[in-house]
Amino acid sequence: MEPTIEQKIRTYRRHFHITPELAWLEYSTATFIADELMALGFEVKRAQELMDTKNLMGLPDKAANDLAYEKAVATYGVKKVESFAHNCTAVAGIFDCGEGPCVALRFDMDALPISESDETNHLPYQKGFISKNEGVMHSCGHDAHMAIGLGLAHCLSENKESLRGRIILLFQPAEEGVRGADPIVNSGFLKSVDYLLAAHLWSNIPLGKIVCSQNGTMATDKLDITFYGKSAHAGICPEEGNNAILAAANTILELNEIQFKGQDLRRVNVGCIEGGTARNIIADNASLKVELRAKSQAVENELLSELEQIVKHSALKQSCTYKIEKVGAASAAKGDDSLAHLIEEEARQMNCFDELVLSDCVNRGSEDFTSLMSDVQSRGAKACFIGIGASLPEKKLQHHTPTFDINEDAMFLASELFFRMIQRLNRRH
């Protein structure tokens, strides 16, 4: 008997959960998705067909890249994998159904550098679909998001005769660290889109709740800052050195202060500091990994400008030089109210959601879907970012943790909602 679409979605999710890949290393994931889309009759676009690859941010080192690429080649063969080489891991399926609107849906692909729990009450461990890639885990639900996309692909393939317009299923790499959207924006791939949608499943929101337009997503910049000083003997002649660690330390203290300025929500965090070589040597290098976040793009721009001045001043005090490298970024964006109303109407008609929220401004961190939203909205298209509850009964699971999991029933609700929205938007034109 042919599996139902629900069964296929569950199987897809567990396949992706077993084989997670980090940002820009989604070689096996992208190849698998391309194969599935082709088998369902989609026109498939790969890599540089939908990415501007000139300035990819936050790339992995060569050793990690080569390992992931060769692993994919061993599984799928070089002919299938080579188009995704050099971190070009975006893939899209296009369904052309004639005259009508262009509706695009985005599904993120990458996992996180987290070792998955092997506790006996962790469902993926119980059911035998725990990650097989050591130190890597789908700990934010992207495995489920991709499964939703492929489940939707099956729905579309089975109902092509009833559809109109052009439908794009976009599978985006490198959402973690907000790196993957910009290359797609810069390529112009979405220039013909009339409607753009994405959904995020939330393990800390109850199953049955939907937020039709999440508007609390924050603008952000991810930065690597390096100070270059001059080494000297710390006991005999420290005055002959230029202390890069002191420049970094001053930067940390001053950055901590600027997030408390003004009334708007601002976040500044230094998540990592490295520097120096020995306790008796004036450090000639130090580096910081920093992120900025703000509720609006204007405030984010202010934060970035203040950071640049602080880094410059701190380096000058120690006679050091410095480099600021942006390794990720996402804009702030607001969903379109009219589109949110349509989502609410369709969700209500499904009779599966018992709590419907038209829109909210809850701070759920940052997400680079907002950059895609801002891009299409600047050309008159409409976009919304949907939040769907996916908590497990009696479990309070958080994202980006070793015990993360989702209620798989939420995947089926999301896939059906997307299909209904495509039909609804077809009827409007």
User: Annotated active-site positions, please?
Assistant: 108, 176
State residue 353 phi and psi, 5-degree precision: -105, 125
Residue pointed to by tokens 């676009």: 45
**DSSP state, 176?**
T
The pair of three-digit structure tokens given for residue 411, joined into one six-digit string: 């995947």
Say if residues 202 and 208 touch (Cβ distance below 8 Å).
no
Task: Indicate the burial class of 314 (C-beta count within 10 angstroms; 0-12, 13-18, 19 or more).
Answer: buried
* Sheet with strand 285-294: strands edge to edge: 266-275, 285-294, 219-228, 321-330
Task: Indicate the burial class of 3 (C-beta count within 10 angstroms; 0-12, 13-18, 19 or more).
Answer: exposed
What are the residues facing 94 on neighbouring strands? 43, 168
Q: Kindly state the helix (H) or strand (E) to which residue 274 belongs, with its residue range.
A: strand 266-275
**DSSP state, 161?**
G
Residue pointed to by tokens 């001043």: 313
365 phi-psi bin (left φ>0, alpha ψ -120 to 50, beta other):
left
| Strand residue runs (E) in 173-265 | 195-202, 209-211, 219-228
Q: Kindly state the helix (H) or strand (E) to which residue 410 belongs, with its residue range.
A: helix 409-427
Q: Helix 142-158 crosses helix 409-427 at what angle (to 10 degrees)?
A: 50
Q: What whole-number distance in Å separates Cα of residue 33 and Cα of residue 22? A: 16
